[in-house]
Homo-oligomer: A and B are copies of this chain.
């Protein structure tokens, strides 16, 4: 006998949510999705429907991965205490994490989120440089704190831009020929020079440049070769530090590389981490060289209560182990290449879409109006909502929310790519 259809609890839950979390707490989709469980890249909704998750990077090694759940569960039954007591868990994890980074990045300060990681990174850069000026991408987001809100350019905040913040346009060479790319590189580096000079003239100096090496919020921008190294060299000449925010680009997202910043020659002074780090367990980290941390520690009593506790460390370490055991980086490289190839076939000759962007298991497609060439967020939104109705979760990024964001958990398989591409192809063909 089939089960009776479930009562749809969503409307009531939505009202109860508004009456506790407020009406502005953000929700995806025109009709919000109530989820109850997940496994791998598949999610089950309250109404019984299954969804392919091609969006979330927090469940990095797959939803509800048993190895991470077991590690957390076992350690929670043992001990969850702060790092003012010695415990081997945090040290084991720190060693494993640091082993994935350049040898000059040999100290880690754990935290509980990407926001905390970026706050500490900026604190460190201010301390080291003696400056307060920040150079930020003009369409970016790095966290929820006051300092980060004053440096936010990619979403709405009521805070005015900090007087110590200057913004730069990350150059996008998508579709440009060599000559145009060279010209773009020159004008972009000239803008960097001008913004550094402006910070210096205003007396702030340069503490740091902070960016996501994949430029995810910006829409997976294709930076001209030499831009990042030129930018970093200029910041360092001004006494500032290079902070790479790996919250979206790290942990093997770029299949062939562990870290987004490895796409460029320049080695960061500070690397920040968050979202995928604990497969959902609140975990962040700020990585730097020993000299910087020792100098900062000598003048600051810095302690983060939850950070590096044995349970968080068990979660983070389990993620690294699963990545190795299940060969998730080579799989991300192979499946990312497959996805990009197949998506490219779907969009070939479509006047609304330029080339498929992204790297590794992170793809984007930018929609423009075929007549005017203007960004076309309305069509991108229609595609995201149609994919949702079809059981596939993706989202949007870019300066005008006009770029599809396809960024599944690394557990994504070739068969999942086929499902996604088939459905997306049908939707795009019907536009």
B-binding residues in A (CB < 8 A): 9-10, 13-14, 16-17, 19-28, 32-38, 43, 46, 56, 58-59, 63-64, 66, 68-69, 72-73, 76-88, 90-91, 94-95, 98, 106-116, 119-120, 122-123, 126-127, 144-147, 149, 155-159, 274-275, 279-283, 290, 293-294, 296-309, 311-312
Contacts and interface: CB of A to CB of B under 8 A. Distances in A.
Given A156-B299, A296-B158, A21 B304 contact: no
Contacts of A9: 88
A146 B126 contact: yes
B24 A294 contact: yes
A33 B21 CA distance: 41
B84 A28 contact: yes
B16 A95 contact: yes
Contacts of A298: 24
- Total identical chains: 2
Given A24-B293, A149-B123, A69 B76 contact: yes
A227 B167 CA distance: 46
Given A38-B79, A281-B311, A113 B146 contact: no
B68 A82 contact: no
B85 A35 contact: yes
A22 B290 contact: yes
Nearest to A293: B22
Most buried by B among A95, A281, A293: A281
Contacts of A145: 116, 119, 123, 145-147
Contact of A94 (B21, B27, B156, B294): B21
Contacts of A72: 72-73, 76
Select the residue from A68, A84, A85, A311 with max chain B CB neighbours within 10 A: A85
Nearest to A110: B21
A76 B64 contact: yes
A125 to B, nearest CB: 11
Nearest to A147: B146
A322 to B, nearest CB: 14
B32 A86 contact: yes
